[in-house]
Structure 1
Amino acid sequence: MPVTHTPVHSKVVSVVTPVHGEAVRFLPSAYASLDTQRLPEGWSWEWCVQEDGPGVHAAAHLPDDDPRIRISTARHGGPHVARTLAFARSTGRYVKNLDADDQLTPGVLARDIAVLEEQPEIGWTTSRVSDLLEDGSTVSFELSDPLPGPLARGGAFPFWDEHHRPPVHPATLCVRRDLLALLGGWMALPASGDTGLLLGLDALADGWFHGETGLLYRKHGAQITAHPHHTAGPEWQARMSLIREHALALQDWAGVRGPAMDA
C-alpha cells in the first residue's frame, strides 16, 4: 500500500490536541478559545484532535459543521504519542500545541505567526501561562519566566538540569513544521514528552518568549501531572535520565554544548 504524503499549506497553523476519556468534557472550552482567535489576513487554523484510544467520542462534544476540526482515533499510546499522530495528520506550516483541558488566550496564534514569519532564525515560540483553577479563577506564576523576546539556543537546558523543570512552559509551544519533523514529534514517554521536545528544540534553534499570557492551564485532579509518579520514583528517574541524554546528544550533534554543560 503506497504512503500518502500530506500536503503542507503555507498559511495554516495546525493546532494539535490529544484527548482521552477524562478530558473530553473540556473540549468545548478549548474549541471556544480557538474559535475566537483572530489571525493575520490570509491565514487559517486547523484543529487536529487525536483520540487516545477507543471510546473517547470527541465528536459528541464539538460542532459538526466546522470543517477546520479534524478528529481521528488510534490505539492508546499516551498523550505524547497522540500529539505526534495528530502532527502526522496536520497540514500547517506551523504546529501549535493545545491540550484538551487548556484554553488559548486571545491573540496568541497571531503573535506566534508574527514572530515565526518575521524572524526566520526563530524555530519555536512559547508564552506566559496562568493556572485555571476549578472555581474558574486564574493564578499567574512568573517566578522563572525569562524576559520577553529571543531565547538563545541552548539556554533552556541549564535551568532544566538544575531544577528538573524548564524555564518556559512546553504546553505553549508553537513550532516550525520542519523542525518538529526533524525531532520526530514529541518524546514517547508517559509524561514529560513535551519537556523532552522543548529541550530538543532548544538544542537546535533559537526560541522566543511572549510576555503576554498565551495559555490558561487547567488544574484538576485527573490531569497527568497530578499522578504521584509524575515527580518522584523509578519512572520519574527514567524519564529525566532519557530527557537529559536526548538533549545532550542533540547539543553535541548541533555543536552548542559548552563546558558548563559537560558535568
Structure 2
Amino acid sequence: MRRRIIVVTAVHAPSARFLPDAHASLTRQELPDGWEWHWVIQEDGTSGEVARYVPDDARVTFRQGRPGGPGVARTIALAQADGEYVKVLDADDQLPPGTLARDLAALEGDRGIGWATSRVLDLLPDGSTAGFDGDPEPGPIERGAVLDFWKAHDFLAQVHPATLFVRRDLLLALGGWMALPASEDTGLLLALNAVSRGWFSAEVGLLYRKWPGQATGQASHTDAAERAARMAVVEARARRLADLNWRYPGMD
C-alpha cells in the first residue's frame, strides 16, 4: 500500500496563473519507494477563472468553495487529505528538488517531531533569488522557541510558515489554520510549536515568489490596528495551548 503526502494549496484568481510552475516543481520531487504525493488545490471562491490553470494530472484534485481567505480554503481542503502528512504550497510558490524527501525523512525519523520547516529564498520578478540572514541552526526546534523569538522580534518568526510540513493528525487536532484575515499560517505555526517539537532544514525548501498582486504586499496586510489584533490572538492561542501542557504523542 502506497503512503501519501498531501500537498495543500489555496488559490484565488490573481494567483492562478502560477499554478503550472508550482506543479512543475512538484513533478521534480523524488520520494522514497512506497510514497507518493497528492495535490489538493482549493479555490477561495468560485470565480470560473482558476480551473483552466489546474494541471491535467491524476494526482491533482481541484475544489471550489465560498470565499473565506486562504486559511479557510486550506482547512476545507483537509476533507481531501487522505495521507499521513500535509505539506503547504502556496499557489505562487515553488518547491526546490528534494524538499518533500527531506521533510519526510525528518518526521519519519523521529516520532517526537510534529512538523518541519526549511530555508526560504525570495523569487524575484526578474528570476533571481535573495536569501535571508538569521536562520536557526538546522535540526530540532524545541517547544516554545518559535513564540519566544517571534515575540522578541516584532512578530517575525525565525522559520517560515509557508514551508510547513506537518503530521495530519496533529494539524486536525489543532483545528487547521486560524480564522484570521491574515497571519493564519503564523498562528498555526506557533500553535504547533506550543505542543510539539519541530525541525528546521538548512537546505532551501521554498522559492517564495515576490510579485505585486500577492496578499502580503497589500496595504491592508500592514494596517496597524488589524495587525495588532491578529498578533494578540495568535499569541494568546499559543500561550493557552502551552499552559494546558498537552504534548503531541511521542514526545517525552
TM-score range, shorter chain: over 0.9
Q: Is 1:147 matched with 2:144?
A: no
The amino acid across from 1:235 in the alignment is E
- The reply on whether 1:19 has 2:11 as its aligned counterpart is yes
Residue type of the alignment partner of 1:132: L
Shift of 1:229: 2.8
Q: Which amino acid aligns with 1:27?
A: L
Query: Partners of 1:93 and 1:72 in 2: how far apart?
Result: 20
List gaps (5 residues or longer) in structure 1. Answer: 1-8, 257-263
Comparing 126-135 and 218-227, the one that deviates more: 218-227
Matched, 1:44 2:36: yes
Residue 55, structure 1, aligned to residue 47, structure 2 = yes
**Offset, 1:232:** 3.6
Q: Does the C-alpha gap of structure 1 residues 10 and 231 become closer, same or farther in structure 2, counting only changes over 3 Å?
A: farther
Q: Distance in 2 between matches of 1:255 and 1:70?
A: 34
| Matched residue count | 246
Amino acid at match of 2:174: L
TM-score by length of 2: 0.94
* Equivalent residue, structure 2, for 1:113: 104
On the 8 A contact 1:24/1:56 being kept in 2, the answer is: no
Distance 1:56 1:98 in 2: 21
> Root-mean-square deviation (CA), in Å?
1.4
Matched, 1:230 2:221: yes
Q: Which amino acid aligns with 2:21?
A: S
CA distance in 1, matches of 2:122, 2:225: 28
Task: Note if contact 1:160-1:167 (Cα within 8 Å) is conserved in structure 2.
Answer: yes
Corresponding residue for residue 191 of structure 1:
182
From 233, 236, 241, give the equivalent of 1:245.
236
- CA deviation string 1:188-222 (max 9, x = no partner): 11110000000000001000000000000000111
> CA–CA distance in 2 between the matches of 1:106 and 1:255?
35
Name the structure 1 match of 2:250.
Answer: none
SS of equivalent residue, structure 1 residue 70: strand
The 2-side partners of 1:50 and 1:222 are apart by 19
Q: Where do 1:1-263 residues align within 5 Å?
A: 11-64=3-56, 66-141=57-132, 143-163=133-153, 164-254=155-245
Structure 2: how far apart are the matches of 1:176 and 1:18?
A: 19
Q: Distance in 2 between matches of 1:95 and 1:252?
A: 26
Name the CA distance, whole Å, in 2 between partners of 1:228 and 1:130.
23
Task: Map Cα deviations across residues 85-133 of structure 1 (whole Å, 9 max, x no partner).
Answer: 1122211100000000000010000011111111111000000000000
Partner Cα separation in structure 2 for residue 162 and residue 222 of structure 1: 30
Matched position secondary structure for 2:77: helix
**What SS does the corresponding residue of 1:103 show, helix, strand or coil?**
coil
Letter in 2 for 1:192: S
- Which runs of 5 or more structure 2 residues have no equivalent in the other structure? 248-252
Q: Distance in 2 between matches of 1:31 and 1:223?
A: 19
SS in structure 1 of the partner of residue 84 of structure 2 = strand
3-state DSSP of counterpart to 2:72: helix
Whether the 8 Å contact between 2:11 and 2:44 is mirrored in structure 1 is: yes
The alignment partner of 2:226 has SS state of helix
